Amino acid sequence: MRYLITCLCILFSLNLLGQISITKSEMPSANDTIRISQARVIDVGTEIAKKGSNSWNFSDLTPTSQDLTSYKSSFQTPYAFYFFNKVGLKTADSLGIGIAQFKNLYTFYTSTNAVYKAEGLGYSYSGIPLAANYIDDDEIYNLPLNYEDSTTNTFDFKFALPIGNLFSVKQTGTRTNEVDGYGSITTPYKTYPNALRVKTTIKGLDSFITQFVSLGFPRNQVIYKWLSKGEKVPVLEIIGNEVGSRFTATQINFRDQYRKLSSSRFLKSNFSVNSTAGQVDVDTFSFTNLTTPIAGNSTWSISPNTFQFVNGSNANSGNPQVIFGKTGTYSVSLTSAIGPTSDDTTATDLITIGTNGQQDISASQGLFPNPNRGVFYLTNGLWTVLKVVGTNGQEVAFKQDGKKVDLKNISNGSYVVMMLNSAGHMKSGMIYINK
């Protein structure tokens, strides 16, 4: 009997080791910025059916668009008076038209050791910051979350036009959370070895109320969410409808890294620059924001940081100007935002900077910059590189993409570059690699 009890205790302990507990530290906090990809909707029935101790594989999801989600302290918004020390998520820049137009909309959340909940909405009307609080807060999660937890909470929210009694929206219902699985989950981003799965069922009624009529629309929704330690949002979220035991997905989102994808929203970040090669402390590079449909608010980031904005421009200018202070290659990123909608793009190794001394022989030989760190450009697009030869007479490998020539895999030293143009003429020049 003692042996049996010991075995059962060991098995029970091993089972506990495979489970995690989601606490307040896994809830979003001020200044968290999280990248979310939207995936093409596929049949997820087989993976959804898995419960208990399991391994879920969603590595075949195809990301189609991407967004940034940014959380702010209420003190960084106009609504700190209404939501003191809360965390806000901007949900819309503007909503409605005419007399019923609202701007700068934020939803505010509270995290404690016992609950993560939505408390209300901040909005501006005719330039005045106002708020609409939940009559009954919407408890997103009761904390901590553990396997086999099951909770049901009610919510009640009313938003009314702040003039008379012309129009209001009321949302009431219940939110049920069932923690029905634990284990590992794989997405296109990475594998999370310890995750909890939460099935959320929302049963509610959305009512639109005027002086003359009240219309109610049922809102029934099922959301499967996988939460993991160290992540502030679900690493995977599948939204859909459930009829009987059959679940049909309508939207799939997952935590992700940067991918060169357009935003799921209407905003698409893009830019151009007047040149991709120049000299240290001499050439001024002018960037042009080409974000569509409009530029919005711009945030520029350049790496490494050995540069300076000039001519009165800065990191938030629409079309900044920059001078670079050291040789090397520079990557440039632009984040554009209109209200809650943002999109970003990054051009890796976009700009190459050479020295401004007499060693630079680009004017005479068409190779720039020179010396360089393994990447140089042909200043005349009519020429292509035929071969690169070391001082020992041996050819070395190179890659050419348009005017850009990549010699990153060779050692420091001097090399002869032999070039050919479309007319069949040849010329050569000396390049200096100094990494």
For position 60, what pLDDT does the model report?
Answer: 94
For position 364, what pLDDT does the model report?
Answer: 45
The better pLDDT of the pair 74, 292 is held by 74
36-77 pLDDT per residue, tens: 999 999 999 999 999 999 999 999 999 988 888 889 999 888
242-272 pLDDT per residue, tens: 888 889 898 999 999 988 776 555 667 788 8
Closest to 322 (Cα-Cα) out of 308, 335, 304: 308
**High-pLDDT (> 70) share of the chain, %:** 86
The better pLDDT of the pair 124, 141 is held by 141
User: In sequence order, what are the residues at sequence separation of 6 or more whose Cβ sits closer than 8 angstroms to the Cβ of residue 199?
Assistant: 177, 178, 180, 222, 223, 224, 225
- Residue ranges of the chain that CATH labels 2.60.40.10: 271-354
Residue 432: beta bridge partners? 414
For position 359, what pLDDT does the model report?
Answer: 38
Q: What is the 3-state secondary structure (H, E, C) of the chain?
A: CHHHHHHHHHHHHHHHHCCCCECHHHCCCCCCEEEEEEECCCCCHHHHCCCEEEEEECCCCCEEEEEEEEEEEHHHCCCCCCCCCCEEEEEEEEECCHHHCEEEEEEEEEECCCEEEEEEEEEEECCEEEEEEEEEEEEEEECCECCCCEEEEEEEEEEECCCCCCEEEEEEEEEEEEEEEEEEEECCCCEEEEEEEEEEEEEEEEEEEECCCEEEEEEEEEEEEEEECCCCCCCEEEEEEEECCEEEEEEEEEECCCCCCCCCCCCECCEEECCCEEECCCCCEEEEECCECCCCEEEEEEECCCEEEECCCCCCCCCCEEEECCCEEEEEEEEEEECCEEEEEEEEEEEEEECCCCCCCHHHHCEECCCECCEEEECCCCEEEEEEEECCCCEECCEEECCEEECCCCCCEEEEEEEEECCCCEEEEEEEECC
Tell me the CATH number of domain 271-354, given options 3.30.70.120, 2.60.40.10, 3.55.50.30, 3.30.465.10: 2.60.40.10
- What value does the mean pLDDT take over residues 175-183? 97
For the ranges 5-19, 126-140, 339-353, the lowest mean pLDDT is seen at: 5-19
| 74 contacts 108 by C-beta, under 8 angstroms | yes
Strand-pair category, 52-57 with 167-186: parallel
- What value does the mean pLDDT take over residues 190-213? 90
- What value does the mean pLDDT take over residues 103-111? 91
pTM of the model: 0.60
User: In sequence order, what are the residues at sequence separation of 6 or more whose Cβ sits closer than 8 angstroms to the Cβ of residue 124?
Assistant: 78, 102, 103, 104, 130
Residue 179: beta bridge partners? 198
> What topology is assigned to 362-433 in CATH?
Immunoglobulin-like (2.60.40)
- Please, what sign has the CA dihedral across residues 114, 21, 235, 173? negative
Counting Cα atoms < 13 Å in the Cβ hemisphere of 30 gives 11
Strand order in the sheet with 399-401: 367-368, 375-378, 404-406, 399-401
